[in-house]
């Protein structure tokens, strides 16, 4: 049985290991499905929100968010001092700031790369989602970057479960530039991964 090992990327490092049912082959949060893969992903990546032990939504990325009076527009305001990490030259390094586009790109990738994801049942409430799934340009989707730390999502109909969707691994952020640099191999090897969670993988 293979083990997953990682070290906490802080001043005090902590090595942990899990006994997995199978060796992970795909660590791309947007497309992974296997239980062993998701164990690794949920430790190496973090989403816009997560649930506390008490069931409350908490976030390491969002300073606050606004919801319009008609409950159709959500505007998220991110902290500007949180970074992606990359493991290279046998050490963990800062790669780039985590920006609004990272969360928008993750949503866009689901519409193009994994439209059958479970969370799509909720994302279909985004404005023009059905049209995009039928072939319209992604630019028509009701998701917009305002600036590096702000993005807005417009819905076509109210959805009381919309915020909860962002605890799902498929909506964990994805850095557009790094993803493109991997030439379709994102999450398939150590050198095609960056991390934004509590732990990282090392060779």
Position 47 scores a pLDDT of: 94
The strand pairing partners of 67, in sequence order, are: 74
Position 202 scores a pLDDT of: 73
Residues 6+ positions from 162 with CB-CB distance below 8 Å: 74, 122, 125, 155
Position 36 scores a pLDDT of: 86
Distance, CA of 92 to CA of 90 (rounded, Å)? 7
> DSSP string covering 4-49, please?
EEEEESSSS--EEEEE-SS------TTT--SHHHHHHHHHH---S-
Q: What is the pLDDT of residues 22-37, one digit of tens each?
A: 777 899 999 999 888 9
Position 16 scores a pLDDT of: 61
Position 19 scores a pLDDT of: 64
Position 201 scores a pLDDT of: 78
Distance, CA of 108 to CA of 129 (rounded, Å)? 10
The strand pairing partners of 6, in sequence order, are: 16
Q: What is the pLDDT of residues 69-82, one digit of tens each?
A: 999 999 999 999 99
Q: Which residues of the chain have pLDDT under 50?
A: 1-10
DSSP summary character for residue 94: E
């Amino acid at each position: 049985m293979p083990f997953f090992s990682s070290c906490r990327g802080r001043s005090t490092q902590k090595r942990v290991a899990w006994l997995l049912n199978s060796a992970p082959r795909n660590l791309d949060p947007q497309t992974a499905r296997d239980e062993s893969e998701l164990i690794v992903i949920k430790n190496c990546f973090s989403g816009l929100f997560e649930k506390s032990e008490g069931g409350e939504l908490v976030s390491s990325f969002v300073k606050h968010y606004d919801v319009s009076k008609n409950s159709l527009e959500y505007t998220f305001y991110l902290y500007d001092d949180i970074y992606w990490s990359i493991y290279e030259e046998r050490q963990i390094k800062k790669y780039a700031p985590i920006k609004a586009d990272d969360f928008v790109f993750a949503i866009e990738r689901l519409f193009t790369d994994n439209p059958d994801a479970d969370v799509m049942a909720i994302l279909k409430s985004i404005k023009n989602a059905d049209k995009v799934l039928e072939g319209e340009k992604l630019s028509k989707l009701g998701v917009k970057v305002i600036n590096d730390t702000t993005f807005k999502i417009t819905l076509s109909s109210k959805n009381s479960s919309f915020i909860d969707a962002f605890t799902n691994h498929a909506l964990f952020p994805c850095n557009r530039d790094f993803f493109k640099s991997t030439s379709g191999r994102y999450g398939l090897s150590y050198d095609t991964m960056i991390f934004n969670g509590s732990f990282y993988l090392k060779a």
